[in-house]
Amino acid sequence: MPPGARSRVALGLTAAAALGRFELQQCKDCGTVQYPPREACQKCLSTRLPWKTQDGKGALLAQTNLHHSNDLFFRERLPWRLGLVHLDAGPTVVVHLHEGAKDRVSVRAMLDRAGQAVLAAVPEKEDVNMADDRQLREFTCDPKFRKVLVTDGKTAVGQSLTRSLVEAGAELIWVGYSEPWKQFPGFDELKKLPQVTLLPLDVTDSKSVREVAAEIGGKIDILVNNAELHRPFGIANRAGVETARSEMDVNYFGLLRLAQEFAPAMRARGADGQSSAVAWVNLLSVYALANFPPHGTFSASKAAAQSLAQCLRAEMRPSGVRVVNVFPGPIDDEWNQLLPPPKIAPAALAKAIVRALQEGTEDVYPGDVAQEWLERWRDNPKALERELSA
């Protein structure tokens, strides 16, 4: 893996890059933009250095091709292009350099295979496809030419995901479906896609998960766990624990079962050259951040799943397999019928997930509702708790 050590203050860059943002510290008192990350303003010594989004525009001062590295990860990938960029905002930054970049460039923050933020410069004007650049592809999890498992093909989200992955050039997509005795709407359409193989998979059944892992676990490059159970209940309007337990069984224990059976093989293939395991996607919910009482038990199960996903992320990081957590707001499906719009359409959610893989982000908040919740939560988690219970 690339060198993964960072100071605590530098993790601010990682926090933003996880969301696909490029932020630098900017002095609250004098406005100076700082880099590398630091504890005090280099101009006025203020310690008030909030992270602010940057446009990343700058001039390429110099570049080099590294032919020698002291790190194994880079040794296997030499030569490696680097640049020194003078940002219009002030600082000079060392960057991984896109092969088309010269003179004017656009700098963005990305997560490298160690899961830490690095800066990359791409040509300023073009709409850049990261996957086209040999180096930047190392920082993404592009589904192109890769083999993917989608754990639940029965839902609209699962079917949209499958179609989006096909469009993104995935080589092979296994699509799981539980209760194989029940034909589900859309089954035939999925079956017609030449890249798709349907297979029975029930994340509540350890035996089923184990058997599928034994069959295809060693070939999966990207696992997308979209299996979820969602019932619109709080505590007071549903007697007993059975519904909540079912939610936990799919949303939390399902992830645990998948992680126990699939993660070891993916970890082992994490640094496996070009055809390596690269990503594990969890469909969580923005309700994992703060409980939405009308869907209270579902929120709780997603919060549990998020916590487990953090554990999985920690266990996967040494292998370079990225764990991508997706936090949609309400999805436009039967379980959110009573919620007013805006709701995210399954197709839009699927596209957001594929884009996250292509761009290499780690935490995805697709859609307007999720974005707004994220901002409210970042601003004041307690306030969001009160707002959600109103």
Q: Which residues bind another protein (CB under 8 A)?
A: 2-7, 10, 13, 35-37, 42, 61-71, 73-74, 79-80, 82, 84, 86, 92-96, 112, 114, 116, 118, 179-183, 202, 204-208, 240, 242-243, 246
Q: Which is nearer to another protein, 290 or 331 (CB)?
A: 331
Contact present, 77 and 113 (Cβ < 8 Å): no
Tell me how far, at minimum, the Cβ of 9 lies from another protein, in Å: 8
Between CA 78 and CA 69 the distance in angstroms is 8
Please tell me whether residue 78 adopts helix, strand or coil conformation.
coil
Tell me how far, at minimum, the Cβ of 174 lies from another protein, in Å: 19
Q: What is the rounded end-to-end Cα distance, in angstroms, of the chain? A: 47
Q: Which is nearer to another protein, 190 or 222 (CB)?
A: 190
Helix locations, the chain, DSSP H? 11-18, 72-75, 134-137, 156-167, 187-192, 206-216, 242-247, 253-268, 296-316, 346-359, 368-379, 381-388
Contacts of 351 (CB under 8 A, 6+ apart): 160, 164
Q: Which is nearer to another protein, 140 or 306 (CB)?
A: 140
Please tell me whether residue 291 adopts helix, strand or coil conformation.
coil
Tell me how far, at minimum, the Cβ of 124 lies from another protein, in Å: 17
Q: Which is nearer to another protein, 317 or 351 (CB)?
A: 317
Structure tokens at 45: 């010594």
Tell me how far, at minimum, the Cβ of 196 lies from another protein, in Å: 19
Closest CA to 9 of 32, 53, 41, 56: 41
Distances (CA, A) of 101 to 24, 55, 125: 22, 16, 10
Between CA 191 and CA 248 the distance in angstroms is 30
Tell me how far, at minimum, the Cβ of 70 lies from another protein, in Å: 4
Strand order in the sheet with 33-34: 33-34, 23-26, 51-53
Tell me how far, at minimum, the Cβ of 50 lies from another protein, in Å: 18
Q: Which is nearer to another protein, 222 or 227 (CB)?
A: 227
Burial category of 47 from C-beta neighbours within 10 Å (exposed 0-12, middle 13-18, buried 19 and up): exposed
